């Protein structure tokens, strides 16, 4: 259904220039008038595969009929309540979610955005430990509100005055670019992590409350934590009496091929606090904080407060409950893992053909393609990446290129996990056409436009 069948695009753009405040990036040049399934549509009628799922959120597709039905029914009969009131969808979502999380993540409450859930998690960690220092990773992104913003280092720290006191920084894992190497050249993340904590100990005033990490650093360029990293990090936390907070705004509910990305390596590590957002609400503002019975009991007994207008709201909770139902019922976690192997193989083929692709990182239907000007020096190729991205958009594929420092020119790819293999191959074909037609991509096969078939991917 076209809800905007006829618009004056030039007038809308003029009005946008006159009345919209900018907030961190340039606006996309086209006005988007429709989104359905895995596609978005512009005012001029162009259809684009949406390989960012909106803002990495529409996990089960735009306009999913079951989500539309839930929203329609609850908008008509159970929309918004006093914050101290409970409703069936809130209780149902909490039960369904904590049935999926491992023991130690036993109780939940629901907010609006990822930044808000991280703010609540940090506040809860400070309340429970009685300490105030928060450690974040050097390329992290956790939100735009007080404590969450202070714990992130991806961008946006300059020009706003001091952040919350007690924020300390660990080097973010980066297997492609880290200077910490074993003699054979492989990544030595253990030494990097130990060295980082030795610096944290020197900076700390003795009040370390928590570490907050993403299992895959999305805003940093889709860098997964190495196998064993969470186990080692948890040990560092326990040694110092700190809590471990996992921010799974983008990685949870099957996106990265596991129900929760912290479970990927089977290490048995359970965070003290888990935050969810984005994928849980399928594009609606919904986030969650999940923690242990012990921390929840302390919060209840000592009157922990994080009281907001939209805490435990019925409509978004009903949507989140339906998202979890669909993901489990339709085995979408397994689907993400299986189609992720198709995506990864396709991106690896591109890397074998074009010298400008320095690295490919993929888990489930979540991938990063790093564009470089020189594979030997790994010099970022952001200008080249921008031209490739514009060509992909022109050809009908939307994939975001990050150009901030901690991105180093990486395409972030995260289509809805309901995408078909045919649609996935369509996107890969468009990517190949874009690389083939943009000057400077350093084709390793001359003018060849067909992707070579590689064995043993």
Q: 385: closest CA among 412, 348, 346?
A: 412
Among 359, 412, 423, 432, the one annotated catalytic: 412
Answer for the pair 176, 370: CB distance below 8 angstroms, yes or no: yes
Answer for the pair 145, 116: CB distance below 8 angstroms, yes or no: yes
Q: What DSSP string runs through 124-155?
A: HHHHHHS--EEEEETT----SSHHHHHT--SS
Distances (CA, A) of 431 to 54, 255, 308, 445: 19, 21, 43, 16
Among 51, 133, 240, 250, the one annotated catalytic: 250
* Rounded Cα gap, residues 347 and 82, in angstroms: 49
Among 278, 361, 387, 391, the one annotated catalytic: 278
Q: Is 412 a catalytic residue?
A: yes
Q: Which residues pair with 108 in a beta bridge?
A: 290
* Rounded Cα gap, residues 153 and 148, in angstroms: 10
Per DSSP, the three-state class of 420 is coil
Query: Number of C-alpha atoms within 13 angstroms, CB side, residue 324?
Result: 25
Per DSSP, the three-state class of 446 is coil
Q: What DSSP string runs through 283-333?
A: TSS-EEEEE-HHHHHHHHHTT-----TTTT-HHHHHHHHHHHHHHHHTTHH
* Rounded Cα gap, residues 165 and 132, in angstroms: 8
Among 133, 192, 247, 313, the one annotated catalytic: 247
Among 34, 50, 131, 141, the one annotated catalytic: 141
* Rounded Cα gap, residues 179 and 182, in angstroms: 10
Distances (CA, A) of 282 to 196, 319, 326: 36, 8, 11
Answer for the pair 312, 83: CB distance below 8 angstroms, yes or no: yes
* Rounded Cα gap, residues 140 and 148, in angstroms: 10
Distances (CA, A) of 398 to 28, 86, 93, 101, 102: 11, 40, 32, 33, 36
Query: Which residues touch 348 (CB under 8 Å, ≥6 apart)?
Result: 360, 454, 457
Q: Is 376 a catalytic residue?
A: no
* Rounded Cα gap, residues 269 and 236, in angstroms: 13
Answer for the pair 201, 181: CB distance below 8 angstroms, yes or no: no
Q: Tokens for 138, please give them.
A: 């050097």
Answer for the pair 307, 116: CB distance below 8 angstroms, yes or no: no
Q: Is 278 a catalytic residue?
A: yes
Q: Which residues pair with 372 in a beta bridge?
A: 380
Catalytic residues: 141, 214, 247, 250, 278, 412
């Amino acid at each position: 259904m076209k809800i905007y069948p006829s618009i004056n695009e030039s007038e809308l753009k003029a009005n946008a220039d006159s009345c919209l405040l900018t907030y961190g990036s340039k606006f996309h040049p086209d006005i988007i008038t429709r989104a359905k399934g895995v596609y978005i549509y512009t005012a001029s009628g162009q259809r684009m595969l949406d390989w960012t799922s909106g803002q990495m959120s529409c996990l089960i597709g735009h306009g999913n009929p079951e989500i539309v039905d839930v929203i329609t029914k609850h908008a008509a009969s159970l929309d918004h309540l006093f914050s101290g009131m409970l409703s069936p969808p809130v209780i149902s979502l909490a039960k369904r979610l904590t049935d999926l999380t491992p023991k130690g993540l036993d109780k939940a409450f629901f907010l609006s955005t990822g930044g808000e859930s991280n703010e609540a998690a940090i506040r809860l960690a400070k309340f429970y430990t009685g300490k105030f220092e928060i450690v974040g990773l050097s390329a992290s992104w956790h939100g735009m509100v007080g404590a969450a913003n202070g714990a992130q280092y991806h961008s946006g720290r300059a020009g706003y005055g001091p952040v919350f006191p007690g924020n300390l920084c660990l080097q973010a894992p980066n297997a492609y670019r880290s200077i910490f190497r074993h003699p054979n050249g492989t990544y030595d993340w253990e030494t990097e992590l130990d060295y980082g904590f030795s610096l944290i100990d020197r900076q700390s005033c003795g009040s370390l409350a928590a570490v907050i990490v993403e299992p895959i650093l999305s805003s940093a360029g889709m860098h997964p934590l190495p196998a064993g990293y969470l186990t080692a990090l948890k040990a560092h936390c326990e040694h110092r009496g700190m809590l471990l907070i996992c921010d799974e705004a983008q990685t949870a509910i099957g996106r990265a091929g596991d129900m929760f990305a912290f479970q990927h390596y089977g290490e048995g590590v359970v965070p003290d606090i888990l935050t969810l957002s984005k994928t849980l609400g399928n594009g609606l503002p919904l986030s969650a904080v999940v923690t242990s019975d012990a921390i929840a009991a302390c919060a209840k007994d000592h009157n922990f407060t994080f009281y907001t207008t939209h805490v435990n709201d019925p409509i978004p909770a009903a949507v989140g409950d339906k998202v979890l139902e669909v993901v489990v019922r339709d085995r979408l976690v397994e689907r993400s893992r299986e189609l992720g192997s198709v995506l990864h193989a396709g991106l690896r083929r591109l890397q074998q053909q074009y010298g400008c692709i320095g690295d490919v990182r993929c888990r489930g239907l979540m991938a990063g393609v790093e564009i470089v000007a020189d594979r030997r020096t790994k010099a970022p190729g952001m200008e080249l990446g921008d031209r490739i991205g514009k060509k992909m958009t022109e050809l009908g594929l939307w994939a975001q290129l990050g150009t901030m420092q901690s991105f180093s020119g990486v395409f972030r790819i995260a289509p809805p996990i309901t995408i078909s293999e045919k649609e996935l191959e369509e996107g890969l074909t468009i990517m190949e056409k874009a690389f083939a037609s943009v000057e400077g991509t350093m084709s390793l096969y001359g003018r060849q436009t067909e992707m070579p078939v590689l064995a043993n991917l």
